[in-house]
Amino acid sequence: MQDMSVTQHWPPARQSAVENGPALLPDAYAALDTARDLTARFLQGLDTRRVGATADAGALRAALGGALPDLPQDASSVIAALAQSMDDGLLGSGTGRFFGWVIGGALPAAIAADWLAAAWDQNAAAYATSPASSVLEEVCGAWLKSLLNIPAQASFAFVTGCQMAHATALAAARHRLLADRGIDVETDGLSGTPPIRILTGQTRHESLLRAARLVGIGTRAIEIVAVDAESRLRMDALAQALAASDRPTVVCLQAGEMNTGAYDPFAEACALARRHGAWVHIDGAIGLWAAASPRLRPLMAGAETAHSWATDGHKWLNVTQDCGYVFIADAEAHHAAFAQSTSFAHAVDATRRQLEWGPEWSRRARAMPTYAVLRTLGRSGVAALIDGCCEHAQSLVRGLSELPGVQVLAWPRINQALVRFDNDARTDAVVAHIQQDGEAFFGATTWRGMRAMRISVCDWRTDAQAVERAIMAVKKALEE
């Protein structure tokens, strides 16, 4: 019998393809050395890297495409060629000078834990398929709830991102709202049931619409509630909408609206919605993290009285893609929406079966990077990450406001802001110019009928120097 102890040192002694069986090609582990070297080079080059991609789709197809090879190839050379062919098509979202959309950076602890997750290749479906992954999720779920001021008894799931967090929460809401009317939606489906409606503000994120489509509620069910000048839901409009119908209702509030970082008045909205038997969901993809900062926590007052909360690890926590979290106060409704009965999932009682809390079955050990980041930063480190990004957003917008022709449409309440250059055409042209130049990256959006440049600061690598470089990049674009 083979002595397994010889494989305890990595990399293991190379063996021939014959000894290892046909599936393992000679020198397959050399690919890991190559990937480690390429990773180090990539991370060391972030400060000098262009932020935008330089290759277009045609160039990338030419570099990566061609016919599927007939013969096996050496894995190490494949990895080297893959990295080289993709390099010009990468966005430098981890450079500290990337402020487009809302895409976080990746902390080294998260990258390292993700490497291990890939190497171990655990199927984190249930305790039975990976005991350690299941317990790790239990631990992370409890830590996240405590960090984000979510009630301790709430259930939770690790999903791919905030959109799937919305879908998971809407499935639980659908269960509760219809079960309370005597309907078993998991068995009978939605046909013939009272149509659910979703009340939310105009600036709700598109992912909510896609989630509504996924769970069969549909986008026609979305009713827009007026917002005030600060982009917060107006309570008189919400009260009116709630009173207007006795249809099963979900109210979707926002913690950190993506253009202005606005926070809805949670305490008031939750109390109102609860009086009407409505389910309150909070889209906190960006802004739920305010709860982790003592300075920003007042923005979240009353949010703990909602029914469900959605956020991301891959944005502001700087966990690697793809990682979202959903928390649901009504654990019974959550479980009812995803419970299943095949044998292996029940193999060990009183342990977490992740697949019964979310839409996926087989999946990677997504909690590993989250665990590594939470342990590395600790409570105070997460607060410092959040506060630091907000401070850099302030100094970035302050610096831009001093440039000629810059109008600040929304100063950062948290890490999100909007500026504009003279008019729509000029705004688009300046954004395009900055992207082309490659020193920094911002995105463009339409806000209240005006084109604007959106700023999102959610990378741990953004520092005073990165902010200064970004201001200079905008100045240069304005002068050309």
Q: How far is the CB of 198 from ligand PLP (least distance, A)?
A: 14
CA angle 53, 56, 61 (to 5 degrees): 120
Strands 416-421 and 450-456: antiparallel
Burial class (CB in 10 A: 0-12, 13-18, 19+), 275: exposed
Q: How far is the CB of 183 from ligand PLP (least distance, A)?
A: 28
In the bound state with ligand PLP, the residue whose beta carbon lies nearer, of 166 and 353, is 166
Q: How far is the CB of 286 from ligand PLP (least distance, A)?
A: 5
Q: How far is the CB of 445 from ligand PLP (least distance, A)?
A: 11
Contact (CB, 8 A) for 94 and 105:
yes
In the bound state with ligand PLP, the residue whose beta carbon lies nearer, of 34 and 254, is 254
Give the up-direction half-sphere exposure of residue 360: CA atoms within 13 A in the CB hemisphere: 19
Question: Which residue has the CB atom at the shortest distance from ligand PLP?
Answer: 161
Q: How far is the CB of 258 from ligand PLP (least distance, A)?
A: 4
Instruction: Tell me which residues touch ligand PLP (CB under 6 A).
Output: 101-102, 161-163, 205, 207, 258, 283, 285-286, 312, 324
In the bound state with ligand PLP, the residue whose beta carbon lies nearer, of 221 and 285, is 285
In the bound state with ligand PLP, the residue whose beta carbon lies nearer, of 75 and 161, is 161
Give me the phi and psi of 155, to 5 degrees please. -85, 170
> ω into residue 322 within 30 of 0, thus cis?
yes
Question: H or E segment at 250?
Answer: strand 249-254
Q: How far is the CB of 205 from ligand PLP (least distance, A)?
A: 4
In the bound state with ligand PLP, the residue whose beta carbon lies nearer, of 283 and 304, is 283
Q: How far is the CB of 163 from ligand PLP (least distance, A)?
A: 3
> ω into residue 11 within 30 of 0, thus cis?
yes
Q: How far is the CB of 442 from ligand PLP (least distance, A)?
A: 15
User: Token pair for residue 112?
Assistant: 């390292």
In the bound state with ligand PLP, the residue whose beta carbon lies nearer, of 102 and 185, is 102
* Number of alpha helices (DSSP H) and beta strands (DSSP E) in the chain: 15, 11
In the bound state with ligand PLP, the residue whose beta carbon lies nearer, of 100 and 265, is 100
In the bound state with ligand PLP, the residue whose beta carbon lies nearer, of 315 and 353, is 315
In the bound state with ligand PLP, the residue whose beta carbon lies nearer, of 129 and 163, is 163
Going by C-alpha positions, the residue among 282, 346, 287 that lies closest to residue 310 is 282
In angstroms, the CA 459 to CA 463 distance is 9
**Roughly how many angstroms between the first and final C-alpha of the chain, as a whole number?**
72
In angstroms, the CA 411 to CA 423 distance is 18
Q: How far is the CB of 101 from ligand PLP (least distance, A)?
A: 6
Q: For residues 142, 146, 148 and 149, what is the CA-based torsion angle, rounded to 10 degrees?
A: 120
Burial class (CB in 10 A: 0-12, 13-18, 19+), 210: middle
Strands 222-225 and 197-201: parallel
